[in-house]
Amino acid sequence: MDIETLKSEIYKMNEEELFYRKYYYARQQDFSLKKFLAELDIDEVYEKHFLVPEIPDTIPPHFEDGFFFDLNKKASILTMRHNRYSPAIIHDHTFFELIYVYDGTCEQTISNQKHSLSTGDICIIPPGIKHSIGVFDNSIVLNCLIRKNTLHNIFFNFLSNPNILSAFFLNNIYSENGNDYIIFHTGSDCDIQRSFLYMYWESFNQSLYWDQMISYTLMLTFGLLIRNYEKSIEVPIFTQKADVQRFALLQYIQDNFTSVTLNQIAEKFHYTPEYTSRLIKSTTGKSFTQILQQVRLEKAQVLLQDTNLSVANIASQVGYETTEYFIRIFKKQMHMTPTEYRRKGIII
């Protein structure tokens, strides 16, 4: 299917939506709901993973990566159409979710706060945040899912640049107290609309290099959002000094990961090393050494996948003094050597 055909096909009801629309109208009255539930083919409900709140075990406690992603493949980004009329279930997930209103409106509830989104709005929900989405008309909403464990690998260079979007992602990757959401209002921006439609088309067809093409397109979309819409975003305001501190610390580690030390960070921000250590621990749940190691290994994974540099050169570039120590740390974390990781060509 080409993109022009997809533009018209995108409005057609699929099998899941036909089921959910029937279910939605049945729920308007008690007697019709009872009739609908009594006539349900339970085997079909489980087989097709329909979400029916009246049947509690059809609703996962939270959505793991494996609910949407094939964990045996390296794809880390998926774009799909949100099923209209599906129940607005309060849930959380282990991945980042970008919700783009392609045409129409939808209702979001995020951490008990309601948000009305309309055409061109993009809402990004991080892992672990309770939210729901309701689309009960012919509106078209596209969902772009990004696995948390691989986001930093894919967008490492973007996250190294200080801006509100990289701050949002970094805080929610490393910190235990990241923001609940970020919303961009892009209106009728044709470039943004074209980008999301293209990512949906790639996910739909899954032709050669489809996952890389989605990654490149999403990187371009991030750039457009920061360039054109950074000043009009909606995001929970930093309400405590520690909110500003934690991003500044994470950004500094990100920018200087090859050689940064705890003492250097303390000197940079005019803290004592002891206070700096406690601040990092209290906001991320990890020690300085653990955070630094995570950043270094993420950069090493990118270099192993995207370059032909030797393992020794990569070890040096990411800040390890000896190749042997780098290999030992990498194997302990990834359960394979850097060479094995490169040979398998996978994203963990």
Are 305 and 326 in a shared domain? Answer: yes
Are 126 and 151 in a shared domain? Answer: yes
Bridge partners of 143? 80, 99
Are 81 and 177 in a shared domain? Answer: yes
Q: Which of 208, 232, 256 is the last residue of a domain?
A: 232
Q: Which of 206, 232, 258 is the last residue of a domain?
A: 232
* Number of structural domains found in the chain: 2
Going residue by residue through the chain (348 aa), what tens digit of pLDDT does each one get?
Answer: 788 888 889 999 999 999 999 999 999 999 999 999 999 999 999 999 999 999 999 998 888 888 888 766 767 899 999 999 999 999 999 999 999 999 999 999 998 899 999 999 999 999 999 999 999 999 999 999 999 877 877 787 777 777 888 888 887 887 766 678 999 999 999 999 999 999 999 998 999 989 889 999 999 999 999 999 988 888 775 444 455 566 778 878 888 899 999 999 999 888 999 999 988 888 778 899 999 998 899 889 888 887 889 999 999 999 999 999 999 999 998 899 999 988 876 544
Are 65 and 189 in a shared domain? Answer: yes
Are 73 and 220 in a shared domain? Answer: yes
Global pTM value: 0.77
Q: Which of 232, 250, 270 is the last residue of a domain?
A: 232
Q: Backbone dihedral region of 106: left (phi > 0), alpha (psi from -120 to 50 degrees) or beta?
A: beta
- Inside any domain, residue 228: yes
Are 103 and 208 in a shared domain? Answer: yes
Residue 111 has a pLDDT of: 87
Range of the domain at 304: 241-344
Residue 177 has a pLDDT of: 63
* Half-sphere exposure for 56 (CA within 13 Å, toward CB): 1
Are 117 and 265 in a shared domain? Answer: no
Are 86 and 157 in a shared domain? Answer: yes
Bridge partners of 124? 98, 182
Are 178 and 276 in a shared domain? Answer: no
Between CA 166 and CA 94 the distance in angstroms is 19
